[in-house]
Amino acid sequence: MRLPHLPHHRGWIEVVVGPMFSGKSDELIRRVKRALIARQRVLVFKPCLDDRYHQSDVFSHDGQRAEAIAVGSSSELRAHLTEPLPDVVAVDEAQFFDEGLIPLVIELADKGVRVICAGLDMDFRAEPFGIMPELLARAEYVEKLHAVCPVCGAPATRTQRFVNGKPARYDDPVILVGASEAYEPRCRKCHTVPSPQVQEIL
């Protein structure tokens, strides 16, 4: 994906999506670090809900790190954005945010801010996750990353959730923050979501 390289650019929205372990946070951190090297003012945010590796900072599964502010809602995120606005605002795990994030990122882009959002485009059922579909529709630049399916080696676009070592059933809660012990990437063929009836029989 090629982004404009203008010294006085207008704002835009970038969205990086994919399943777990596809490198979304790595890519967000990479873009943040490049902006910092360019001496741009950057603010990074993450949801308080995601405290797997650190209370506030963004961490990738590979150990990459970026300083961040943990917030509980889009309104709390907005409260941190005082004038003069930063050049770049990055939001990790955007799927966990409320609908108020949509008008906020649009407003920021309209005011000349480069907005980078990363998150899961699909939940463990392989259905659109929260606000991500609208973020994708509003973005000027979209990058969909793939992981590797550990079952067959094919490109993985979905996230498999396990509960007690078995595939999570369809009616399990959508939000359950975890890491490798609860999730792994899967391709379309190897992704499994048993119905409640099937789970009971098993």
Where does 58-139 show beta strands of DSSP type E? Answer: 58-59, 65-66, 69-71, 88-91, 114-119
**Residue 184, CA atoms < 13 Å, CB-side half-sphere:** 17
Domain membership of residue 71 (yes or no) is: yes
Domain membership of residue 93 (yes or no) is: yes
Domain membership of residue 37 (yes or no) is: yes
* pLDDT of 9: 60
CATH of the domain at 123: 3.40.50.300
Domain membership of residue 124 (yes or no) is: yes
Question: Whole-number mean pLDDT of the chain?
Answer: 88
Q: How far from the centroid of its chain's Cα atoms is residue 106's Cα?
A: 17
Domain membership of residue 186 (yes or no) is: no
Phi, psi of 70 (to 5 degrees): -85, 130
| Percent of the chain surpassing pLDDT 90 | 72
Structural domain of 55: 12-145
Instruction: Return left, alpha or beta for 112; rule: phi > 0 is left, psi -120 to 50 is alpha, else beta.
Output: left
Identify whether 93 is a catalytic site residue: yes
Domain membership of residue 21 (yes or no) is: yes
* pLDDT of 59: 59
Q: Cα separation of 91 and 69, whole Å?
A: 10
**Higher confidence at residue 13 or residue 5?**
13
At 129, the pLDDT band (50, 70, 90 cuts) reads very high
Residue 19 has pLDDT above 90, yes or no: yes
Q: What is the pLDDT of residues 22-81, one digit of tens each?
A: 999 999 999 999 999 999 999 999 998 765 554 556 655 566 778 999 999 999 999 999
Domain membership of residue 177 (yes or no) is: no
**What Å distances lie between residue 125 and 26, 27, 45, 162, CA to CA?**
24, 24, 26, 12
Q: What is the pLDDT of residues 100-113, one digit of tens each?
A: 999 999 999 999 99
- CA-based nearest residue to 71, from 46, 36, 38, 99: 46
**What Å distances lie between residue 25 and 21, 103, 163, 173, CA to CA?**
9, 23, 24, 23
Domain membership of residue 80 (yes or no) is: yes
Catalytic residue, candidates 14, 27, 93, 184: 93
At 6, the pLDDT band (50, 70, 90 cuts) reads very low
* Total domains in the fold of the chain: 1
Residue 156, helix vs strand vs coil: strand
Residue 45, helix vs strand vs coil: strand
